[in-house]
Amino acid sequence: MATEQRQITINDIKRAAQTLAPILERTPVIKSHLLSTETQEVFLKMENLQRTGSFKVRGAFNKIASLSEEEKKKGIIASSAGNHAQGVALGGQHFGIPAVIVMPDGTPKAKVENTRSYGAEIVFGGPIYDDAYATARRLQKEKGYTFIHPFDDDVVIAGQGTVALEIMEQLKEVDAIVVPIGGGGLVCGTAIAARHFNPKIRIIGVQASHAASMRDSLAHGSVIELDKAKTIADGIQVRRPGDRTFELCRELGVEVVTVEEEEIQEAILFLLEKHHIISEGAGAVPVAAFMSKKIDPSIGKVCLLVSGGNIDAHVVAEIIDRGLLLQKRRFRFTTMIDDKPNALGRLTSLIGELKINIMQITQTRQKYGLDLAFQVVDVLVETGGKEQTNHLVETLKEHGYSVEEL
């Protein structure tokens, strides 16, 4: 629940910028020549390079700085999937306030360890963010902590809006800003700040289709809670948007689009491979929306906010593997060969003649129902893409091999 209901103004956001100046990084905006076209310029705002690896430090630190001495003495508590946690932990460390962070059980290890590095106590509060939130509220009542809400708070929203102050200075004539939506604090702060400079600017929020609580709430006309929310974009995996942020999104005319899980993975891989940018799932959803043509192509100048880069290395590795499979740059298949000498050698020689690299291969006779005259071979190859993969399949079939993609 929002702590105050008066209008959030550009002056609130400018004051937040002054509060944040000692600890904040002014993150760069870069042009994406790969996404831009002759009629549309695309820029990336690099909040993944922000201190703590995410924009969330803006709102969290601004809120903690505003607390009274009495509130600070109580200690602070927050619920977070990781990025708000690090912002709260940093703020607690800066002001010498004990901080307790309640995280969902499956929070990426990188976010957990980074939060601990700022001296916060970690408590795990359930499978998803909403469970962690309930646990944090219970502990707040039991222990008397001061709760730092991740999005449904005017001071937090003003802090998040400082990212748009930078964008509007760095891009003088931007026509749209595309940001992730979880609870809605970032998109609201962005809209308030950006509209002060350009009342016609389009603010487009992006949600994962399996966690689209703000989109569904706006369509319904009131705040609703999803039965479940599950997405690789854990930073926006929220079943229920904020009451305050919902009203602001409705008043400000925020547009909302959604992206699928495969589209998010493709965007993470694109940023890594083509721009050498590490992005977490939530940070990549604006890029995913653009790449999947969810953003109006008539918008002349678009800024996509890469909101965070806190992602575990093993998740990056898994996304790379899956992405290469989706793009057919890696291809796994099974086939059968005669149970005779050099049968496997003939298969591998044929693949080698096509200039295709075999990454892994196994063979077995131990398959139920398999004729005694045959062996099953499982092959993983690396190709130049769909065209070469399709040529491989055609060539194998021409030589009498069955091909079943795995």
CB 184 within 8 Å of CB 156: no
At 371 the pLDDT is 74
At 312 the pLDDT is 87
Q: Which residues of 205-219 are buried (b: 16+ CB within 10 A; e: fewer)?
A: bbbbebbbbbbbbbe
Question: Residues 235-247: pLDDT tens digits?
Answer: 899 999 999 999 9
At 197 the pLDDT is 96
At 135 the pLDDT is 95
Both structure tokens of 68: 């009274």
**Residues 328-405, CATH architecture:** 2-Layer Sandwich (3.30)
pLDDT at residue 111 is higher than 90? no
Give the contacts of 337 (CB within 8 A, at least 6 positions apart): 343, 344, 346, 347, 363, 374, 375, 377, 401
> How far apart, in whole angstroms, are the C-alpha atoms of residue 52 and residue 82?
10
At 2 the pLDDT is 43
Q: Give the chain's mean pLDDT.
A: 93
Least confident of 61-70, 280-289, 371-380, 386-395: 371-380
pLDDT at residue 157 is higher than 50? yes
pLDDT at residue 368 is higher than 90? no
pLDDT at residue 3 is higher than 60? no
Which of 94-108, 293-307, 370-384 reaches the highest mean pLDDT? 293-307
Both structure tokens of 25: 């990084």
pLDDT at residue 90 is higher than 90? yes
Percent of the chain scored above 90 by pLDDT? 82
Grade residue 166 by pLDDT with cuts at 50, 70 and 90: very high
**CATH number of the structural domain 56-147:** 3.40.50.1100
Select from 3.30.420.40, 3.40.640.10, 3.40.50.1100, 3.30.365.10 the CATH code of 10-54+153-323: 3.40.50.1100
DSSP calls for 35-67 = T--SS-EEEEEEGGGSGGGBTHHHHHHHHHHH-
Both structure tokens of 179: 């940001």
CB 214 within 8 Å of CB 239: no
Same fold: 10-54+153-323 with 328-405 = no
Grade residue 16 by pLDDT with cuts at 50, 70 and 90: very high
DSSP 8-state code for residue 237: -
**Pairing verdict, β 202-208 and 255-259:** parallel
pLDDT at residue 220 is higher than 60? yes
- The pTM is what? 0.87
Domain borders along the chain are 10-54+153-323, 56-147, 328-405
Over residues 276-302, the mean pLDDT reads 97
Q: Considering only CA atoms, give the Rg of the chain.
A: 25
DSSP 8-state code for residue 308: B
